Structure formats: C-alpha cells, structure tokens
Chains A and B, each alone.
Chain A
Amino acid sequence: MGVIKLIDTYVKYGSPVDDQINIVADLIAGKKGAFEGIIRQYGARLLLKATQMLGNAPDAEECVQECYLQVHRNISSFRGEANLYSWMYRILVNACLKKMKARAVNNSTSIESLLPDFDENNCRIEPNWPSIPSAEEILRRNHTKRQVLAAIHSLPDSYRDILYLRDIEGYNTAEVAQMFSLSEGAIKVRLHRARSALKKILEPVFLEGLEQ
C-alpha cells in the first residue's frame, strides 16, 4: 500500500532524484532562472555553514559567491552520484578552507593556554563540579547558546575548522586529513586539543548556576 502511494506521488510530482536530474539538466542547458533557483534554494544553508566555519559574514558571503561560481563553471562535470547539495557543500568547504589559509592567522587565542592543567605530581587540576548538567539543560538557560557559539569562534582557525568538520559535519578523520594536507594522527591531536580548549572556555558558562 505504502509503495503504491509512493509511486503514485512520484507519478504526480516526480521523485526527488528526478527533480535533481531536471535541475541539473536545466543548469547545464543554461535555462533561464535555473541558476537563480539553486541560489534561492540552497543559498541560506550554505551561507549559514560558511559563517559557522569562518566566523564573519563578509568572508562567508565571499565564499558562498565563490562556491556558486565554481558550481556554474563545473556543473557539467557533476556526475549525479552525490546529492546536488552535498556536492555544492563540498565545494563551499574547500572555498572556506582556502579563505582561512589566505587570511591572517587568527592568533587571538593560543591553544596552549587552553590545554588541561596538571600539578607537579601529574595530577589533573580540574574545577570542582558538583554535577555535570546535560547539554539540553545548558542550552535552555538564557544567553548560553550565544556564549557557546562565541566560544567556538574564539578557537584558532584551523582548530575550529577541524572540530567543525569532524564533530559537527560528520566528516571522518581521513577526509579531514586530506582537506588539511595533514596526517590522520595530526588531525586527531588537533581535534582533541580543540575540544579540550572549548571545554575550558565553556567551563564558567557550564558551572554558572550549579550549586557549589
């Protein structure tokens, strides 16, 4: 029954795959309005991702523009084995990484000062946590979401982007290593340092409101 209904829907409206084939065919043919269509359809999502990676709107807009220019130039080489958005997103990530490498290194925070602390007996120095709240609890508190977003942007560029691509966007270590031309071991070390630094930046936010 479900399958018949699905086929029925496809006959009426076309399948998502058909839609994508049609869009790509229109783009290759240079059909009027087709390109503007994908700007309207995916532009906001791409702009959000670029802003999250780069931390500021002007750089993000520049990379989104660069992404669309490359899509325009290379659409005939789009094979269709990936989803159109994923293909565009990958182009955007490369544009953002290139931008990040080109701009002045964000040295405002040194990662070393944000690594875990140990005493002379190699014993960890950790704040006193009466309890560890849940992420939902944290995000329900006023202003916390903004503080969490500010924390990720205060990380040095390459650390933030490795964390973003692996932990948030779900790329695996090998893929991220390839993007950064680093070994998988180096990516793992940086990922751990980035997470560790983020934890230290956020400690006061998390501890706020916990009974000591």
Chain B
Amino acid sequence: MGVFATSATARRRHRTQKLAFVVLLGVTVLLILPVLAILGMLVYRGAPALSLEFLFSEPVRGMTAGGIWPAIVGTMWLVGVSLAISAPIGVLAAVYLNEYAGDTWYTRVIHLAIVNLAGVPSIVHALFGVGAFVLFFEFGTSILSASLTLAIMTLPVIIASTKESLSAVPMSFREACWNVGATRWQTIRHVVLPNSIAGILTGVILQVSRAAGETAPIIFTGAAVFVPFLPSSVNDQTMALSMHLFTLSTQVQNVPQEITYGTALVLVGLVVLINGVSIVIRSRIRRRRKW
C-alpha cells in the first residue's frame, strides 16, 4: 500500500463528516421550508388581489371590497413616529451604557431591566400603553399613544443590539484615539460610531419591521377598525395593516379570501422591503469600512 493510501480511521472520519453535513443541511432545509411555504401561499392566494387600485383606495362595503390605502398610510405613521422616538433614545442610551457608564451595581440593574423588558410579551406593553399614554397622559387613543407604546416595546431591543455593535469595535481603536488626546465624545464620534453604524442600523431596522407587524400594542392605543379619512396629525386615530388583517380575518364575515391574503402579502412585502433596505445599507457600509 502506498504512503498516501487512506487508513481506516481516516475513512471513518470522512463518513462522520459526510453524515454531519447531511444532517445540518436537512435542518437548514426544515427551517427554510415553512418560510417558503408561507410566502408561496401568500403569493398564490393574495397576488390576484394586488393592483394599484387595491393599494391606493379605501375599503368599501364593510371592508369586503376596495383597497387598503388608509391601513398602509397608518402603518407608516405608526412606524415612523415610534422610530423617531425609540431610535435616538435607544442609541444614545446604548452609547452611554457602553462608552461612559462604569460597571457598577446600578448599571447592572439597568442591563437586567433591559434584557427582561425585551422579553415582555407585547400585550403587556399594550396594557402599559393604555394605562400610561391613553389614560394617564391623556393622549387618548391616537397615533401618538400607539407609537409611544411601540417605542417602549422596541426600545430595549434597540439598546441591546446597539450595545452589542458598539462593544464589537476593538478596544485598540479607542486606545489609539485617547492616546492622541481625543475626548471620549470625539472617540465615539470619529471612530466608534462610524465603525458600528452598520450593526446599529441593522438592529434598528429589524425593530422597525417588528413594529410594523405587531397588533397587540396598537389595538387599544390608537389603531381603529375603520377610519374614513387619512390621519393628519399624531392626535388622530388610524388604521394599520396588522390591525386590518386581524379585523378581516376574525371580525368581518364574507370577506373575499384574496383581500385578506392580499393584505397579508402587502404587510409581509413591506417588512421584506424594509429588511432588504437594511441589508443593502449594511453591505454598502461594510464595503466602505473594513478592519
């Protein structure tokens, strides 16, 4: 036998390796299949409803016909306002926690609180929103109350993911800056943020799509089953895609199937679009900054 002939152990290792590969591939396929199945069904049943008319007109005849424009606009309002609140606060809080605050007992309590808040079910945030924003602050059921509730829901996750991105910036970069006499803020502004912005944006945008999809937090705080006009300020109530889908599938009879599925398809499409934008942004920034 030649020197390079495979031994029995090598063959066994090779077999194990192949088996592991097959198992991992199988698990991956199992994970992807349901996603594909859902998307396939949505497209199959919802696509016939899609048209400019469907996207840009109001629902009519007790929502059994017409379009979903007010719900699309409403979702944009809710997501936009909640993002305008939670993104700056969340990012600044994470910068403070990661770059300024030391490791003391109260920062540990804050971390613990953030992690736990991120795990609270959205219906609990909804109840808090009703109690705090609708009733106590007397914002009423309005876009403002609903957006604040969504902001409270997304804030802990934004803080956590931003912190993660910040701490991924190598310590040596910070030391290089301090070392030429940069203040903490200059270090953050010139080095830490530019090198973590891709991760921060990804985290924020993932929360945008989460906010777009949630129903519970807005159902009692600002979203309505049907509003005959488009919102003109944050004090108005509004329709929303997630809420509309909930209504169509549980509260109204005789809704043609393709309207329900069409609405779901638009909602999913919106989320996919947002995530896609985040991936594009991230890869562009990544290409620009590498270390």
A and B: interacting chains: no
Chain B residues close to A by CB (< 8 Å): none
Q: What residues make up the interface of A, taking CB atoms closer than 8 Å to B? A: none
